[in-house]
Structure 1
Amino acid sequence: MRLLLVEDDIRLVEVLAEALQDYSYVVDVVGDGEAGLDQAIREEYSLILLDVMLPKLDGVSLCRSLRSRGCAIPILMVTARDASTDKVAGLDAGADDYLVKPLDLPELLARIRALLRRGQAIAQPVLQWGALQLDPSCYSVTYNRSPLHLTPKEFSLLELFLRSGQRVLSRRTIVGQLWSYDDPPVEDSVKAHVKALRHKLKAVGAPPDAIENIRGVGYRLKQLA
């Protein structure tokens, strides 16, 4: 899932981005309200993490502007000010939830998960390909009931393949789904992650060609007999 972080505190951005990426979120970061508004309009996000005190355009005004345009993306607002009037202003502007700095990371992650669940009409189903099962809700993967221990990027890559069915995914498509604009992959990163994922799948008994390479086009899961 791709999240937008609108925050001008560089040190906080580094901590939050790293923590979110550890949980397989792709995070785009902007440092002012005008850039945040432009980014939220142009791109598709699952959630916006929005600071109140921002240069150029404050978070409350940004939130109000998005809601006036019909944007229904969940917005989690954060601020250093603990006044109830600030909280009311943020919620009245259309924010879905509100946290006060300093942020507690476990609570922040729990609030994000809750907002993402709330935004889904039904619970995320377990994704399956033969004996392979991936459960997005509890971040687990098994093959014939044997657990696979994947890195966050490998997990996201496998989830993308499972959700795409027989659609062939180009390297450009994979990069666009799994890497943020501020963290572009080095050359051949997709190839390296696919190779590592194949190796781990093979180690638990999956076919060595479970992920097919369609020469000159991209990758997909092999069609089951």
Structure 2
Amino acid sequence: MLEIQRLRAGYGGITILWDVDLRFAAGQLTAIIGPNGAGKTTLLRTISGLLPIQGGDIRLRGKSLRNVPAWDMPGHGMVLVPEGRLVFKDMTVEENLRMGAFVPAARSWVADGLERAYTLFPKLAQRRRQLAGSLSGGEAQMLALGRGLMAEPQLLLIDEPSLGLAPVISQELFACLEALKREGKTIVLVEQSTRSALAVADHVYLMQSGKVLLSQPAASVELEALHDLYFSREAAVAGAPSPSPA
């Protein structure tokens, strides 16, 4: 569904991604893991049009996204749920959700979209008239994901959904991702928890310093070997043994 060919991207004159090749199959959940600074968020921002492509190409269903601006991506069936939630704090929960349906094709089914969001996240239904700025971190993450789904995307890019959340809330969010995958959604998930990512993923990419070090079906990944690869370069730089994964 989505193919990335020798992608180079970064910020100004600083290149973060170096000739990255990735493929994301339709109807699958692909996890991208790696340490801080690996280029994971930069990758999602480039795919979604927030950062320019310096080299290579990104193709969705065979068509290049090189000249597609970020605000047109939902019209192509792709939505980014960014790191840090980024909800509209001075708007209510329901107003935030409605903002996700600004794409003309989605406006006709706002009522259905709201019902679906409240079914997926009952806590949002209870707080529908509440200002988003008063939500807990977990509720705000649910709102950000629910808002993204209002555009009825075929492809979801989700950046670090469990960051800073209590384990019980993270479990709720990953259960939602499982449900979306069963519906046939194509999901690209950047996630800090390797164990949680492997539990829901069909395929896994490990990134390090802007490059892909591993591409493997999730079912065949050995967690201990993955952690050894994940931490090896950081440990070498620090001159210390690899930390024990949580």
TM more than 0.5: no
Decide which structure has the larger Cα Rg and report it. 1
Larger strand proportion of the pair = 2
Larger relative contact order, structure 1 or 2 (CA cutoff 8 Å, min sep 6): 2
Tell me the TM-score normalized by structure 1. 0.30
